[in-house]
Amino acid sequence: MNEVEVASIAPTLAEIETAREVVGAVADVTPMQVSRSIAEILGSPVFLKCENLQRTGAYKIRGAYNRLAKLTAEERARGVVAASAGNHAQGVALAARELGIRATIFAPIGAALPKVQATRGYGADVRLVGDVFDETNAAAQEYATETGAVFIPPFDHLDVITGQATLGLEIWDQVPDLDTVIVPIGGGGLAAGVATALKLKAAEAGRTIQVIGVQAANAAGFLPSLEAGRVVTASISPTIADGIAVARPGELTFPLIEEFVDGVVTVSDDEIARALVVLLERAKLVVEPAGAVGVAAIVHGAIKATGKTVVLLSGGNIDPLLMERVISRGLTASQRYLRVTIPLQDRPGQLATISEIIAAANANVVEVRYSRQNLDLKFTDVEIEIHMETRGAEHANLVLARLRGAGYQPRVVA
């Protein structure tokens, strides 16, 4: 699309301001937190926009409420339906409750229990259908056709995009002299809305800012479309950032992101896990994997921004069981939790010697396992697996060097 065509579908500042008044009836103005620790990594000031502290735990309430508020009386009487395994479900459920609309949410059978319970807690009828999201979405669409309920898309609708754009106005108000904004991208509703609002505000003020999108490397659905110059379906793999795992950009969101987002970068699951640990330890914030991709991009050098940078933490809905796994993975990725295997001759005293070496290096052993089942071992050998806590990569390398210096052959296990 050319600029004129994009302008014809993009919400105007007046429409976004109106949406802010509508959304303000239900959404909080979330905090903007200074992060000195992340600023040290980037080399310039960093601010965290904490939508993880929003009602329902994510920004989705903005777009959902703006869409539902525009339904006619006849449409409201028919009820609404959505397909979602998480944040969109909760946003639609709460918006429907606040507006007195009946909501039915279809979720995959394996959806996280806390998210299902939260959605039901907001008053929605939750139906678990399908092993994969495509099956769930098809069931929701079929329900809409059969019952007349209004289908509420998660990102590809102008009312939804405009609702998410209200977040851009908040960012502008809280850090008016910002230079860069980093935003997660899934289907593109959030990034399209925020980027549109900020670029329009910057143009109005005669200023230039950059907006950078971040996707999970395993599910970078936008990159093939940006390369092709049109919407295409990407091949994606499972990722811990399931909230932004979308294979095909929206038909409305794509041209807006193509026009207003200055670049898109990707981060790996291990990098996301490390970012979650950084946010927990340094910012004292619980953030879901999809919401932490912007911080991951800074911590791992994917973004070299200057001036004042705002990182959007889009949500904080993380299953405690997943959090436990992610923290463990994040500590391992940062080499603060080290797991090694060491082949040994099967004779008394070997473990004591190794323990003394590790203790002298000030590392802490938390688990030890023996195995004789490795076919690469001699009959007279045993393999020992040691889990230990270290203070980071430099300390881990010191422990490994001490073990090798004593004649052992430790192998780091990912």
pLDDT digits (tens, 9 = 90+) for 238-251: 899 988 988 999 99
Is 49 an active-site residue? no
Domain count across the chain: 3
Q: What is the pLDDT of residue 2?
A: 58
Is 60 an active-site residue? yes
Q: What is the pLDDT of residue 373?
A: 61
Other CB atoms closer than 10 Å to residue 359's CB: what's the count? 12
What is the average pLDDT score of the chain? 92
β-pairing, 32-34 vs 46-50, is antiparallel
Q: What is the pLDDT of residue 413?
A: 85
145 and 164 belong to one structural domain: no
What gap in Å lies between CA 41 and CA 411, rounded to an integer? 30
99 and 209 belong to one structural domain: no
Q: What is the pLDDT of residue 375?
A: 52
> Is 114's pLDDT higher than 90?
no
Residue 95, both tokens:
């918006």
Kindly name the residue from 60, 115, 199, 308 that is annotated as catalytic.
60
Choosing from 331, 350, 376, the residue where a domain stops is 331
35 and 50 belong to one structural domain: yes
129 and 51 belong to one structural domain: no
Q: Please give the share of the chain, as a percent, with pLDDT higher than 90.
A: 72
Whole-Å CA distances, 81 to 1, 105, 274, 315, 372: 31, 6, 36, 22, 56
With a CB cutoff of 8 Å and minimum separation 6, the contacts of 165 are: 11, 16, 19, 192, 193, 194, 196, 197
Average pLDDT over residues 159-171: 98
- DSSP, collapsed to helix, strand or coil, labels residue 268 as coil
Q: What is the pLDDT of residue 351?
A: 85
195 and 312 belong to one structural domain: yes
> Is 7's pLDDT higher than 80?
no
Instruction: Residue 129: name the closest of 85, 89, 90, 92 by CA.
Output: 85
Residue 325 or 3, more confident: 325
> Is 5's pLDDT higher than 80?
no
Average pLDDT over residues 74-89: 94
Radius of gyration of the chain (CA): 24
Average pLDDT over residues 220-238: 93
Average pLDDT over residues 196-220: 96
Choosing from 270, 298, 331, the residue where a domain stops is 331
| Helices vs. strands in the chain: H and E counts, helices first | 17, 14
Q: What is the pLDDT of residue 380?
A: 63
| CATH code: domain of residue 392 | 3.30.70.260
Average pLDDT over residues 132-158: 93
> Is 81's pLDDT higher than 70?
yes
Average pLDDT over residues 105-131: 90
Average pLDDT over residues 344-355: 83
287 and 316 belong to one structural domain: yes
pLDDT category at 410 given cuts 50, 70, 90 is very high
| CATH code: domain of residue 289 | 3.40.50.1100
Other CB atoms closer than 10 Å to residue 218's CB: what's the count? 17
pLDDT category at 377 given cuts 50, 70, 90 is low
pLDDT tens sequence across 252-308: 999 999 999 999 999 999 999 999 999 998 999 999 999 999 999 999 999 988 899
302 and 265 belong to one structural domain: yes
Residue 361, both tokens:
């290096």
220 and 326 belong to one structural domain: yes
Q: What is the pLDDT of residue 335?
A: 79
162 and 190 belong to one structural domain: yes
356 and 263 belong to one structural domain: no
Give the E-state strand segments of 314-400 in sequence order.
337-345, 364-371, 381-389
Q: With contact defined as beta carbons under 8 Å apart, do 199 and 260 qualify? A: yes
> Is 345's pLDDT higher than 90?
no
Average pLDDT over residues 20-40: 97
What gap in Å lies between CA 47 and CA 309, rounded to an integer? 6
304 and 213 belong to one structural domain: yes
> Is 208's pLDDT higher than 80?
yes
- DSSP, collapsed to helix, strand or coil, labels residue 145 as helix
Q: With contact defined as beta carbons under 8 Å apart, do 43 and 179 qualify? A: no
Choosing from 302, 331, 360, the residue where a domain stops is 331
pTM: 0.86
What gap in Å lies between CA 359 and CA 272, rounded to an integer? 31
Other CB atoms closer than 10 Å to residue 349's CB: what's the count? 7
Kindly name the residue from 35, 84, 225, 314 that is annotated as catalytic.
314
Give the E-state strand segments of 227-361 in sequence order.
263-267, 309-313, 337-345
> Is 1's pLDDT higher than 80?
no
pLDDT tens sequence across 378-404: 666 788 899 999 988 899 999 999 999
164 and 227 belong to one structural domain: yes
Average pLDDT over residues 6-25: 92
β-pairing, 180-184 vs 309-313, is parallel
> Domain limits at 99?
62-151
Q: With contact defined as beta carbons under 8 Å apart, do 222 and 185 qualify? A: yes
